[in-house]
Structure 1
């Protein structure tokens, strides 16, 4: 094992010795939001993966897509692909005032959402990042009915 591998392995091994309160700041370095059901084994494994990804590089985009396709094909859990109710042209910018700040979200060429340098798969994830709570992204940005709900 080279020096870099030894260093990463030592950091990963240290995760299991940290109290959960000390794991959260490490989690926050790698992820934008905390898991809904915080399970210590899950937290440690996700942090360990991110540490390795940072040190040695992640999967190539086409490899990741291939693995996702294989998983979807062979999974016993069949998920119904739900098309997005609202489609945006790349470059669309959504604005929302919240907490005395104006928040700008841009739609990327691949249909994702960029907010403050981070990429999100859904508007709901962006709304959660802004508000700190779970809420409907389209509703938060005023794209669906129920005006005045937020």
Structure 2
């Protein structure tokens, strides 16, 4: 009976970065061409190691956020149609696994940020924090404001009290 051969698992990004100092300059140049699609711009080895390490991490840890892509498509469409860019809303992106806690009317409510950008609350998934805030309070709320992720807006140019003396 012939033993099956399992293909070796590729080294982790950490292992590849740790091994960069052991590469010959020719191997380093070849890796540069593979990653960047061009010859390296300098013979400085330290520069090459740092840029290659960064690129390896960028490739490994790059994540595509579908909601971000959709927002960008809508903004581009609006720009093309009107010729004006809308003021960019400050997007609040929380890391998956983040737990938001809010006490409301003596009850502690916990929300977990899911991997896909949605939120888990009491065993159900919600696309926005505002929907959860409404579920908790029974009224419309800014979810990021309710959970303390966003600070309340400051009053714009309040009227000055009294005059100059």
**Fold shared per TM-score above 0.5:** no
The structure with the largest alpha-carbon Rg is: 2
Q: TM-score, normalised by structure 1?
A: 0.42
